[in-house]
Homo-oligomer: A and B are copies of this chain.
Amino acid sequence: MEKIPIEKLATVLKLLGDKTRLTIVSLLNERECCVCEFVELLDMSQPSISQHVRKLKDANIIKESRKGQWIFYSLNKDNEFYPVIISVLQHVPHQEEKLIQLEKLGKTIICD
Residues of A that sit less than 8 Å from B by CB:
1-7, 9-19, 21-23, 26, 83-84, 87-88, 90-93
Asked whether A2 lies within 8 Å of B93 as measured between CB atoms, the reply is: no
Nearest Cβ on chain B to A99's Cβ, whole angstroms:
14
Asked whether B10 lies within 8 Å of A13 as measured between CB atoms, the reply is: no
Residue of B nearest to A14 (CB): B17
Docked complex Cα distance between A17 and B81 (Å): 14
Q: Which 5 A/B pairs are nearest by Cβ-Cβ distance? A: A14-B17, A13-B17, A17-B17, A87-B87, A10-B19
Could you say which residues of chain B place their CB within 8 Å of the CB of A93?
3-6
Asked whether B92 lies within 8 Å of A13 as measured between CB atoms, the reply is: no
